[in-house]
Structure formats: C-alpha cells, structure tokens
Amino acid sequence: MSIQLPPLFESRMQRWLGGEYENFIASYERSRYAGIRVNTLKIGLEDFAAISPFELKPIPWCETGFYVDENERPGKHPYYHTGLYYIQEPSAMEPVEALRPEPGDRVLDLCAAPGGKSTQIAAKLGGRGVLVTNDISAERTKALAKNIEMSGVRNAVVLNETPERIAEKFPAYFDKILVDAPCSGEGMFRKDPDAVRQWEKHSVEVCTVMQRDILDTVASMLAPGGRIVYSTCTFAPEENEAMIALFLARHPDFVVGELPHSPLFAPGRPEWVAGLVESGGGLSPLLHEAAEGEEPLLSRPEPLAQTARAARIWPHLAEGEGHFVCVLEHTGERAARDEAAAGSAPGPVIGAGESLPAAEAGGRQGGGPKAGGRREGRGAALPRREDKSARQARGRNKDAYIREEASEDTVRRACLQFLAAHVTVPIYGTLLISGDYAYACPVEPHRLHGLKVRRSGFQLGMVKSGGRFVPSNALAAALLPSESARTLDLSSAQQEAVSYLKGETLTLDAERIRCAEGTDAKGYVLVSIDGYSAGWGKWAAGVLKNEYPAGWRWNG
C-alpha cells in the first residue's frame, strides 16, 4: 500500500471492523472516485446529458451527481467556467440530499467553504428562499463566494463569522441547517495524503470540542420543526455517534431522523461508543462528560441507540470516500410562514421593463435629464470619498453599512439605471449598498448589521470613480442570455471561447451581438458559451473589451 496510515488509526479500525477490516484496508489500493454535480440552476439534467463532454455514470445517492474519469480534467472545460457543474467528491453529495432543502426554505450552511454543499443547496432552492452560507476562515470564504457566484446563485449571503455571532442575529430563523463539521478527516486519507500528515492523536480530541460547541449553537437558530444535518468525513466514533448522542442528551426536543438510505450505506455504530465509554478509553474526554456525581451522559442507552439511524459511507462498500451523515429533527410544530407579511420576502429591486422613479431616471439609456437637472454617468457628480472617521468606524468590516449618504445614493442610482438598461427581468431582493457595491439582499438587512459579511447578497456591481457602474460577474453568471439586453454567444468548439475565458480582447463585428429592441451593440454585452452565460464584455468599434474577472480566468 502506497499510503502510510497512522498506526493508531489502523489499530482502532482493525478492532472495530474485525472481519471487515481486510476489505476496508484493501480499498486504499484502489484509486479515488471523481465526481461532478450538475448545476440545475444553469442547466437541466437532460440538457446536460445531451452536451456532456464526459462519459457520465450516475452516483446512486444523488440524482444530479455523476462519476467521471479524473483524467478527463473536468476543471479544464469551458462548461466548468459557465457553472454547468461543480467538481465534488461523490460521498460529499449525500449530506445535502439528507437535508432535503426545498424552494422557499431558509437554509444555513455553517461550515461551508469552499462551497460544494452550498452550491448543491442553492440548486435545490432553485432561486427561492434564502441561503446563508458561512465559514470561520476568512481566506476560505473567498473561494466560497467565487463558487456561489460562478454557479449563478441569486439568493445567498456569504458570512465569515463564528456560529455564536450568527445565532445572535438569526434566532429560530432557519428551516434547515447543515453542519459539515471540521473533523479529523480520516475518510479523506485515500483522496488526500495531506489529511494523513495532519492526523495525530489529538486531532480527534480537538475536533470533538469544536463539534460539540458548534452543534449546541446551531440548535438555537433552527425554527420549530426544522432539520439539522450533521456530517463529517471521518470514521472516529468520538466525532460521529458520540457527538450526536451528546447533543440528544442535552437537547431532548430533537430526535434522529430517517435518512433516504442508499442500500450502499451502512448504519451508525452506537456500540463502538458504548465500548469506549465502558472501557474509559477513546480519544476525547467528552466521551466521559458527566454532571458531578452522575453517570456519563453517553452511558444513557436511549440517545445513543438512535445513532444507529445515521449513515456511514465506507470506501469498501460504496464508490466514494468515508463519510458520516446524521439527520436531527426538531420535534416542535413547523409553523406556516407568511413571508410577505413578515417582510422577509423582498420584492424586486427593479422589475422587468419597469420605469425608474423620476428621481432615479437620469442616466438611463436614451433618457433625458433627470428631475433636478443633474445627469448620472459621465459628467455626473463624483461620489464623495469616504472620510477617515467613517473608514475607522467601519473598522475591520469592509462590508459594513456606514457610508456617506451621497455616495450611497450614487451607487443606488447607478445600479438601478444599469439594471433598467441592461437586464430584462426583475431581480429580487432588498437593494443594499455596502461600500461601493450594490447587492440584492435576500434577508432583512438589519440581520447583517455588525456581522463580518463577505457578500451581503447577490452582488450586482460597483461604482468606480466618476460614478461609472461596473456590473459584477456574479450578475452575468446568474443571468440567462435572454435576460440581458445584449448578448454574444461563443462556441466551445472554437478557440474564441477559451480566449475569452483567459481574459483576452476579442475582435468582432457588431452583427454578432444580439441586441434587444431599441438597443445597439455598443456597451456591456453578456458573453455566453454554447448558450450558457459566463461573464461580461464591453463592445465598441469592433472590439470586445474583456471584463471576465482575473480570479475566474482559465489558467494555462
């Protein structure tokens, strides 16, 4: 075997798996499985099957998931850049299947970066409801935001917060919460040799303390009758069944729910935890947690017995890496919610073909001078620079709201003018200005006050010096070509598509740009590949200036 497994890990697995151990260890000789998940926000399953550049083999537990040959390099195809699929380890697709988000739900993905499961949740929401996606690592939320945006998600907020601070702002708010917990990663040893290097005796102990605290905090954010899915990519029972049983002992208003079990999954192993508690062993002191003079919480048979309803995905039984998935159902009554009455189902920022209010109509294409005589766009009043005290007041939080009125107004007007002139469908959300950026925010904006926010919602664009509005690539990626006033379609079979994705300027005639009635070719153009939107370009005099963002470009 080429992988050197930690001896303590091997001896633990051998003890627990007994006769099954040989098969388990033999699975380390096989190569890992690669998967893609079709992003149904951008393409239907049948349509993808018709154009797929790769041979697809269905993943049994996820309707939108497919095994692909890793040598196909799915990250190196224009369709990856148009967000038609997300590259995801097959077992990692199960937690969201167990969560079962439905259009209209409010969902929290607490430990979300880089966003595999968040993009899967967003696809299931189908643009309706709310996704709050969060990671405690600031660095990792950059990739999370990029993946959310490349996937064309319109109803997500991206946070970089602790669970406790989110809980203060969203008490009993979410219908569904995913905790894809930080863990010792034993299930990833085959896929990622780094996981082996990082594993040590104390990993399990450190992780259980984090997991216990995270689970305790999320309970307060769940609406009555809601569902939590807890998942890890480790085999350690301390981080799996024990965490669930401890949670149930502390939160008697929850039960372990049924999973839509694949016959390839195995049940949870409460007896492993019972054995560790009895012997006084294991790698976490939490196994023996007890109030003074009382028996350890985990010696209560009932909560532990429920964990048999969880699922373990084993690499020797299913074609995927090791995972643990458990559903926790709140036993309270799920209340019907009138989103509109609660003020939490925002209407459109601006509707299709809608006229801007007179005070905002100044710079609209073909529009006359606006009321008050000032024109937006070229020659418009410059936004005043934020002064030093305002900058200090904003502190660490770049996305805080404090901003001088004048410039907030400028961003707001510029954004609405852009949408009116370039987008032919309503964009839903509360128009929220954060610094130079405009967002369509899917939650009541007050909930974000004081939080570290990476994206306050669907990023529409920003105002640059001179009051010029630059649309975000998130907006481009989420629009259908038919929803944009100007479009240019490139073919994935032509070099032009890759040239665009590499950030190169294209030379092309006005005839190639499809323009909505009353619009000419000059200006922002939504660039699509085989009919699937990728980004913006700006056309004038036979040249398409490339607006595809540097961080999204095709490398190599």
Ligand X SMILES: C[S@@+](CC[C@H](N)C(=O)[O-])C[C@H]1O[C@@H](n2cnc3c(N)ncnc32)[C@H](O)[C@@H]1O
Annotated binding-site ranges for S-adenosyl-L-methionine: 111-117, 135, 180
Q: How far is the CB of 17 from ligand X (least distance, A)?
A: 24
Q: How far apart are CA 173 and CA 468, in angstroms?
A: 38
505 is a contact residue toward ligand X (CB under 6 A): no
The one catalytic residue in 233, 326, 415, 441 is 233
AA identity, residue 327? V
220 is a contact residue toward ligand X (CB under 6 A): no
Q: Is 233 part of the annotated catalytic residue set? A: yes
Query: With contact defined as beta carbons under 8 Å apart, do 386 and 404 qualify?
Result: yes
**Nearer to ligand X (CB atom), residue 94 or residue 436:** 94
Range in contact with ligand X (rule: CB under 6 A) among 31-39, 130-138, 293-301, 430-438: 130-138
**Nearer to ligand X (CB atom), residue 68 or residue 136:** 136
**Nearer to ligand X (CB atom), residue 166 or residue 488:** 166
Q: How far is the CB of 187 from ligand X (least distance, A)?
A: 10
Give the one residue of 38, 153, 195, 214 binding ligand X; rule: CB under 6 A: 214
Q: How far apart are CA 196 and CA 185, in angstroms?
A: 8
Q: Is the peptide bond before 60 cis (omega within 30 degrees of 0)?
A: no
According to DSSP, the β-strands at 430-434 and 437-441 are: antiparallel
Beta-bridge mates of residue 461: 438, 471
User: Does an H or E element contain 325, and which?
Assistant: strand 323-330
Q: How far is the CB of 122 from ligand X (least distance, A)?
A: 12
215 is a contact residue toward ligand X (CB under 6 A): no
Residues 132-171 that bind ligand X (CB under 6 A): 134-137, 140, 163
Give the 3-state DSSP-derived string for 414-474, with helices as H, strands as E and coil as C.
HHHHHHHHHECCCEECEEEEECCEEEEECCCHHHHCCCCEEECCEEEEEEECCCEEEECHH
Give the one residue of 35, 74, 116, 461 binding ligand X; rule: CB under 6 A: 116
114 is a contact residue toward ligand X (CB under 6 A): yes
Give the one residue of 105, 175, 180, 241 binding ligand X; rule: CB under 6 A: 180
Q: How far is the CB of 236 from ligand X (least distance, A)?
A: 14
AA identity, residue 231? S
H-assigned helices in 351-439: 388-394, 405-422
Size of the site for ligand X (CB under 6 A): 19
Sheet of 468-471: strand order equals 430-434, 437-441, 458-464, 468-471
**Nearer to ligand X (CB atom), residue 163 or residue 362:** 163
What Cα–Cα distance (Å) separates residue 101 from each residue in 8, 21, 62, 273?
A: 38, 36, 14, 31
Range in contact with ligand X (rule: CB under 6 A) among 56-64, 110-118, 276-284, 481-489: 110-118
113 is a contact residue toward ligand X (CB under 6 A): yes
182 is a contact residue toward ligand X (CB under 6 A): yes
End-to-end CA distance of the chain: 33
Q: How far is the CB of 241 from ligand X (least distance, A)?
A: 18
Q: What are phi and psi of 328, to 5 degrees?
A: -115, 115
| CA atoms within 13 Å, Cβ hemisphere of 294 | 9
Give the one residue of 35, 74, 101, 115 binding ligand X; rule: CB under 6 A: 115
287 is a contact residue toward ligand X (CB under 6 A): no
Q: How far apart are CA 337 and CA 334, in angstroms?
A: 9
117 is a contact residue toward ligand X (CB under 6 A): yes
Closest by Cα among 322, 333, 123 to 237: 322
**Nearer to ligand X (CB atom), residue 217 or residue 492:** 217
Q: Specify binding-site residues.
A: 111-117, 135, 180
Range in contact with ligand X (rule: CB under 6 A) among 55-63, 129-137, 273-281, 283-291: 129-137
Residues 74-93 that bind ligand X (CB under 6 A): 92
**Nearer to ligand X (CB atom), residue 92 or residue 350:** 92
Residues 367-396 that bind ligand X (CB under 6 A): none
**Nearer to ligand X (CB atom), residue 198 or residue 494:** 198
**Nearer to ligand X (CB atom), residue 310 or residue 460:** 310
3-state helix, strand, coil in the chain (%, to 5): 35, 20, 40
Whole-number CA gyration radius for the chain:
26
Beta-bridge mates of residue 416: none
Buried b (16+ CB within 10 A) or exposed e, 224-260: eebbbbbbbbbbbbbbbbbbbbbbbbebeebbbbebe
When CB distances to ligand X are compared, the closest residue is: 111
326 is a contact residue toward ligand X (CB under 6 A): no
User: Any idea which residue has 């925010």 for tokens?
Assistant: 441
Q: How far is the CB of 153 from ligand X (least distance, A)?
A: 14
110 is a contact residue toward ligand X (CB under 6 A): yes
Q: How far is the CB of 276 from ligand X (least distance, A)?
A: 23
- What is the set of active-site residues? 233
| Contact footprint for ligand X (CB under 6 A) | 92, 110-117, 134-137, 140, 163, 180, 182, 210, 214
